[in-house]
Structure 1
């Protein structure tokens, strides 16, 4: 009866110090070997269990491959007659190329980042870059493969981030992004789906603190006397204009041009979601825009209208957003407001004030571009007439005058 063993062939080592793992086949005192095309260091080989140790970063993938090929050879020998076994023994070891080197997580992520930048999805590219940069502080060498990401790895990485006093939701963002990498790698057949670790390692964000503020606080910010055409005055205007346009994000606000104004309305596509918005240009908003008319190719002189590419443009807006928040913080401090005021406050506050003014959650959700309720049933509901949302916005704006 033919037998097969797995051995580490230490007769010849390669230039990188690795040895070939072979299948040794014996039958009627005749022996031959077949290469598995797997090469490892002697220190990475467990001769007792005939497996590759965890010290090899690809040990999971390679052990799966080794086990499968071993089982295949056993099956072939089991059903073969004596003649076929003799034929099976004929091939001698031929020089074999090592198995294809798999992409590391860092290589894979960099390809995704480059593609996102090419598609002008700069925000997502930055999230991916940030995730990879932080991961490198934990795993400092380049040989991190998807097979190494298991429950134990994720647990240790989570502890590492927590010890660095990184906020819970930021930790969640980093781990969620690694999960995105893993899911994409599975679809591209870079890693086996059976190794997926996130079925056991659950991710849960922490509920964020309330970002909305009451009407009287917004009224105070809107009406505080500031010297005209100073940074404080300008940045307050940008914040208030975001509120007047139903909480438009600062990125979208910065990128508005005269082409976005049609028939007394602002029409724009939200950069983050790709959703289109149609907002009536209320008199209060129009007054602010008229003040900055002609200063830039954009409606507001915030974004760099000479930026050479989209990434440079977005980096500039990101910096200007920090500047706006800095001045909002100063204004709040001068007004003795003990709540944090940022560009996010405008959107959250608009929704809160609209709700307290008696408008339905459904109307508020549609004004903000959100889905409300069950998706299946939502398709049967008529959209609110645009004039109803216009009237709601007019009412909310008047409450902070």
Structure 2
């Protein structure tokens, strides 16, 4: 049961020694605070009431009104047990089921959230959707005015811009994410969801995995330029760490032998089993030691600009490295992740373990996945086996051919 009460937080005193009155929300043995505008001295607060203050009566009345309003919102939540203390705070701190929020403000709120989570690239995509929609609507509209026909008209508007169908589906999916977040935050409710008649096709699978031969060209290369050495090391590090994304690599403290992290891309969207845990292989540790700042445990390449710019710098450098090595396949940083998944599948690593290493959701993999768990030991063995495969591809050649025959029912 969630409870609300007035309090002061003695450890959070202002510079002059006074305190802001806070509303303590307690739920599931956790406590979070909603800060009010009222400031008092420590001796002017007793048993949840303002005392010894010239405006004590008026302040207590206003605080009671705030508490009553929050309690009403709290009581309107049907299934409190589904929410964390922080989630309940976010719900009751906003206007409950407000139908006055516009699509642009919903986009802005989502962008702020994404940036706070370090997901700047996705934030830029949501900003783009907001711009396109404002152009389409010739201004802004209320979320409550979004209808299925309006969404379909927006899709037609995007297509007139002569973009690819993949871009259309991506932007519609991002717009749907904005709407769904507003629903989850109780800023809007619909009798008929705006996307009920809009079919969003999945993006085609990008062919970015490399042949083992081309992968080993990169892995075994000895470039002279510092930027190419950095690109090679980051590419290989991603592969050795089970296809770890660049943003997660740059945010990770590598001082421990066991790596434990949640993907930035899916943080907050996946519930259980979102933490990926495995032992850092020796091949990865060798690269980490070359670039790690021992004070923070994070990698430091001496690049002081934004992550977005750094990501582009790595991509361009990888392209230069591939060109220098005469690799005829397209090489991006994502190729390391795709190649890890492809090689793991070729040598028979179960899909569930591959998904665990990659940090993928398991919703589409069947009921059995909900009854089994991947352990760290299984992930360690899978990563070790994939690394052994690129080290000794001939050792696995016969097995891969036999498995391919069985899968294709040949021979």
TM-score by length of 2: 0.61
CA distance in structure 1 between the partners assigned to 2:355 and 2:186 by the alignment: 39
User: For the structure 1 residues 379 and 356, does the alpha-carbon distance in structure 2 shift closer, same or farther, using more than 3 Å as the test?
Assistant: same
**Structure 1 residue 248 displacement after superposition:** 0.7
**Do the aligned partners of 1:246 and 1:367 also contact (CA within 8 Å) in 2?**
yes
**Structure 1 residue 216 displacement after superposition:** 1.0
Equivalent position of 2:369 in the other structure:
378
Structure exhibiting the larger radius of gyration computed from Cα positions: 1
**Do the aligned partners of 2:100 and 2:143 also contact (CA within 8 Å) in 1?**
no
* 2:266 maps to 1:269: no
* 2:155 maps to 1:162: no
User: For the structure 1 residues 196 and 333, does the alpha-carbon distance in structure 2 shift closer, same or farther, using more than 3 Å as the test?
Assistant: same
Unpaired segments of 5 or more residues in structure 1?
1-99, 306-314
**Do the aligned partners of 1:161 and 1:171 also contact (CA within 8 Å) in 2?**
yes
Equivalent position of 2:232 in the other structure:
236
CA distance in structure 2 between the partners assigned to 1:318 and 1:206 by the alignment: 23
* 2:382 maps to 1:392: yes
CA distance in structure 2 between the partners assigned to 1:340 and 1:273 by the alignment: 26
**Structure 1 residue 107 displacement after superposition:** 2.6
Match of 2:190 among 181, 188, 193: 193
Equivalent position of 2:88 in the other structure:
none
**Do the aligned partners of 2:263 and 2:359 also contact (CA within 8 Å) in 1?**
no
Equivalent position of 1:283 in the other structure:
282
**Structure 1 residue 215 displacement after superposition:** 0.9
CA distance in structure 2 between the partners assigned to 1:239 and 1:188 by the alignment: 38
- Corresponding residue pairs, total: 287
* 2:344 maps to 1:354: yes
Equivalent position of 1:149 in the other structure:
146
**Structure 1 residue 396 displacement after superposition:** 1.8
User: For the structure 1 residues 115 and 266, does the alpha-carbon distance in structure 2 shift closer, same or farther, using more than 3 Å as the test?
Assistant: closer
SS of aligned partner of 1:381: coil
**Do the aligned partners of 1:151 and 1:200 also contact (CA within 8 Å) in 2?**
yes
Unpaired segments of 5 or more residues in structure 2?
1-97, 268-273, 392-411
**Structure 1 residue 381 displacement after superposition:** 2.6
CA distance in structure 2 between the partners assigned to 1:387 and 1:102 by the alignment: 51
CA distance in structure 2 between the partners assigned to 1:368 and 1:321 by the alignment: 19
TM-score by length of 1: 0.62
Equivalent position of 1:110 in the other structure:
108
**Structure 1 residue 111 displacement after superposition:** 3.2
CA distance in structure 1 between the partners assigned to 2:187 and 2:285 by the alignment: 53
SS of aligned partner of 1:399: helix
CA distance in structure 2 between the partners assigned to 1:270 and 1:303 by the alignment: 24
**Structure 1 residue 348 displacement after superposition:** 1.2
**Do the aligned partners of 1:244 and 1:282 also contact (CA within 8 Å) in 2?**
yes
**Structure 1 residue 325 displacement after superposition:** 1.0
CA distance in structure 1 between the partners assigned to 2:188 and 2:372 by the alignment: 43
SS of aligned partner of 1:166: coil
**Do the aligned partners of 1:254 and 1:302 also contact (CA within 8 Å) in 2?**
no
Match of 2:129 among 115, 131, 146: 131
**Do the aligned partners of 1:255 and 1:303 also contact (CA within 8 Å) in 2?**
no
**Structure 1 residue 203 displacement after superposition:** 1.8
**Do the aligned partners of 1:116 and 1:124 also contact (CA within 8 Å) in 2?**
yes
CA distance in structure 2 between the partners assigned to 1:332 and 1:380 by the alignment: 43
CA distance in structure 1 between the partners assigned to 2:109 and 2:242 by the alignment: 37
